[in-house]
Structure formats: structure tokens, C-alpha cells
Amino acid sequence: MRQAILAVLIVGLLITAGLVVVAQEATPEATADATAEATAGAETTTGAEATAEATTSAVMSGGQADILDVNGNTIGQMILVDAGNGKTVIQIQVTNLPPGWHGFHLHETGTCDAAGDQPFASAGGHWTMGGEAHPNHTGDMPPLLTGQDGTARLAFETDRFTIGDLFDADGTAVVIHANPDNLAHIPERYGTPDEETLDACDGGDRLACGVVMEAAPAQ
């Protein structure tokens, strides 16, 4: 489905640019030659093979997370889409956040429990598939900027993980922090970054959390 939409958009752009000839006339002889050539180079695919191919391409094609605040209210959603070539597109839209910058990451456990002294501590630390420090964790993402009306929207592409990586044994969660993400950028004149900075970006309290779930394939 995604490939078909992209194909339509590309053809539309080419037509606009005058690079595609529409309704070009063809003689019967030329049409017959083209049809024969295409038929000779085509491979026969059975219905079962086509179904298997479509099913395989749909597996792990996307993810989504409904984002909840500490009171259990849904304040937004994050959508993840397989962009191909090992890349993933992420889009998030939220409301009712304090204005300003907020740290925004994927965390290592797919649980969002707001109970206790530290809401959403159940999501664990920043998700990483290696031994990286912040801001090079697998789940580290660009900071989220909220407007004066409390809304924020962000879309970007990353090659740090694929959709399939998200759904390990204990899952993953998206967490929005109260404070800006300093990306562990501590100039030498300020001293050496401490463990809190390298592990958690000094993001402070966790304002919102969403468990990443596998999205249903588009029909």
C-alpha cells in the first residue's frame, strides 16, 4: 500500500514537471510488440506466492503508542512506520504539556505504571541495544518543543532501530520528561558529565508514557 501511494505521488510530480507524457498515442504494432516483450520478461506468480509475499511485507510494518499522563488521561499518540532500508519514521503529537523543551525517548520496558513516588519508573531507563551512553542510546530522540498552548508535534527519521527491534521480550515505551534534554553536552569548563547526565539526560520527572504496540497492517 505504501509503495503504491509513493508511486502515485512520484508520477504526479513527474507529470507536473512535464517529464511524463500522458495519453501518448501508440500504433497497434507498437502496442503488440510492447506487450510481447513485457510478457516474455515477466515471471509467473501463483496466488499463494503473492499472498505470502504480501503477508511478509506487512509483518512488523509499524507501531504506535497512546501516550498517557500521570492521571491516566490520553494526551497524544506516537506512530512509527517502517521506511525501508533499515530506517524508521516517527511522528508524535501531544497536548496538555507545559510549554518549552522536553526530553523524549524510548525506554527499555513496555510498562507505564504511574503509581508510586516516581511515576512511570516502570518503563526503566533509556532503551539501548548496546553499551552506549546518552545521547547515543538506541532510543534517544530529538527533544520535543511544546508551544504556549501546550501542544507539540514532531516527525523525523532514524536508522538507530527498525520496527522489529521494538518488540523484544519486555517491549518498549515512549517517555516524555519534564525538563529539556541536554544531550549530554557538557562543555569541559563545566566539568565532566556525571552518571545522571550520561544515563538520563537530566530530563527530570516523567510527565507522560506510552507502551509501544504493533500497529495493525494497512488493508
What percentage of the chain exceeds 90 in pLDDT? 41
Q: Which residue ranges make up each domain of the chain?
A: 2-42, 62-214
Quick one: pLDDT at residue 14? 35
Q: State the average pLDDT over residues 123-143.
A: 78
For residue 141 the three cell numbers come to 530522540
Alpha carbon distance 3, 114 (integer Å): 40
Q: State the average pLDDT over residues 80-93.
A: 95
DSSP assigned state of 24: -
Q: State the average pLDDT over residues 11-36.
A: 38
Quick one: pLDDT at residue 180? 85
Say whether domain 62-214 belongs to CATH 2.60.40.200: yes
Quick one: pLDDT at residue 67? 98
Residue 27 banded pLDDT, cuts 50, 70, 90: very low
User: Is the pLDDT at 142 greater than 60, yes or no?
Assistant: yes
- Name which residue leads in pLDDT, 197 or 79: 79
Alpha carbon distance 180, 59 (integer Å): 35
User: Is the pLDDT at 196 greater than 50, yes or no?
Assistant: yes
Quick one: pLDDT at residue 61? 80
Residue 136 banded pLDDT, cuts 50, 70, 90: low
- Do residues 205 and 178 make contact, with C-beta atoms less than 8 angstroms apart? yes
Q: State the average pLDDT over residues 57-65.
A: 71
* Average pLDDT along the chain: 74
pTM of the model: 0.66
Ranked by mean pLDDT, the top range of 3-7, 39-43, 125-129 is 125-129
User: Is the pLDDT at 205 greater than 70, yes or no?
Assistant: yes
Q: Which residue has the cell 510549554?
A: 99
SS3 label, residue 120:
coil
For residue 53 the three cell numbers come to 509475499
User: Is the pLDDT at 55 greater than 70, yes or no?
Assistant: no
Helices and strands: H and E segment counts in the chain: 5, 10
Quick one: pLDDT at residue 7? 39
For residue 72 the three cell numbers come to 491516566
